Structure 1
Amino acid sequence: MTTLAIAIHVIAAILLVGPVMVSTSMFPAQIINAQGGNTGALSILHRITKTYGLFSAIVPVLGVAVFLTDLATYGKQGQFHASIALAIVAWALLIFVVIPKQKAVVAALGGDTDTVQAASPADKPVDLEKSRSQIAMFSGIFNLLWIIIAILMFI
């Protein structure tokens, strides 16, 4: 049973976290391209980040499930505790920082934000260059956390 749970956990990480890492990495570069009026790619990257990002919460949940299936083994190994904590931090960073900043940029450039109210008020203009650098930084931190988690899984 533990082997099956680990396999599902790894497959979920690859299929759900991988696309989010790619879309968050590509988003800052697309801001420059979208300033010319073509916001299609930017909107798609935001939608991928948001959708896969929400579903990627399954990965830490499955990690906790694997952890609890063999508590005698995993409970004594600190790297698994650290991995779960880092996954929660990475997911929170994505949901509460990266996605709202992406949404504000897409809305500011007139892109499709799924017909939901823009993340930033209309009277507060978005500084695109500052937002681009912040999104790049927080996306890099998000990606780095997942790389550290992957390394911790194999120690």
Structure 2
Amino acid sequence: MTKVLLSLHVLAAIIAIGPVSIAASMFPPAARRAVANGPDPSGTAAVQLLHRICRVYAGVGLAVPVFGFATASYMNVLGSGWLITSIFLTAAAAGILVAFVLPRQDKLLDDITNHNPIEQSRTAQLAMFTGFFNLLWAIVTVLMIVRPGSTTGA
């Protein structure tokens, strides 16, 4: 059962977190291009698509910690330091996504749709928060692989 849960956990992480990381990273430059080219339906559509990917896959991403907790429970590692750190970092990444990335995307998308000017600092700030989100997930990934202090032999 552990192998099945671990497989589902890893697949959920790849399928859900990967698209959010990529789409969120692509959003700021796409927003800048959409504004720079004037009212451009294709630029607006691209930004809308990237935002939709972020929103949908953020919801799908809830499966990652669900399968993660189930896997950790079966492996009897719920009290391990590497896992507790990973849980904290995952919560922080989710918080950044929900509190900083998605709302800023919403506002930029609204401005682009309404042909309002956008300051470069707003897209730069969004890119910074997206970078923090991606960095936290990279750290969690390393912790999941290395598992400092683990007795499982990996």
Mapped to 2, the partners of 1:65 and 1:8 lie a distance apart of: 10
Say yes or no: does 1:60 pair with 2:73.
no
1:154 match: secondary structure:
helix
- What is aligned with 1:144? 135
- What is aligned with 2:89? 86
Q: Give the deviation of 1:90 after TM superposition.
A: 0.5
Structure 1: runs of 5+ lacking an equivalent: 112-124
Task: Please show how residues 1-155 of structure 1 align to structure 2 within 5 Å.
Answer: 1-35=1-35, 36-38=38-40, 39-71=44-76, 74-110=77-113, 127-155=118-146
- What is aligned with 2:152? none
**What is the CA deviation profile of residues 7-26 of structure 1, one whole-angstrom value per residue up to 9, with x for unaligned ones?**
00000000000000000110
> Per residue, is there more helix in 1 or in 2?
2
Mapped to 2, the partners of 1:129 and 1:85 lie a distance apart of: 32
- TM-score w.r.t. length of structure 1: 0.84
Read off the aligned partner of 2:65 and give its amino acid letter. Answer: P
Identity of aligned residues (%): 36
2:113 match: secondary structure:
coil
Structure 2: runs of 5+ lacking an equivalent: 147-154
Q: Give the deviation of 1:65 after TM superposition.
A: 1.4
Read off the aligned partner of 2:19 and give its amino acid letter. Answer: P
- What is aligned with 2:151? none
Q: Give the deviation of 1:47 after TM superposition.
A: 0.6
1:109 match: secondary structure:
helix
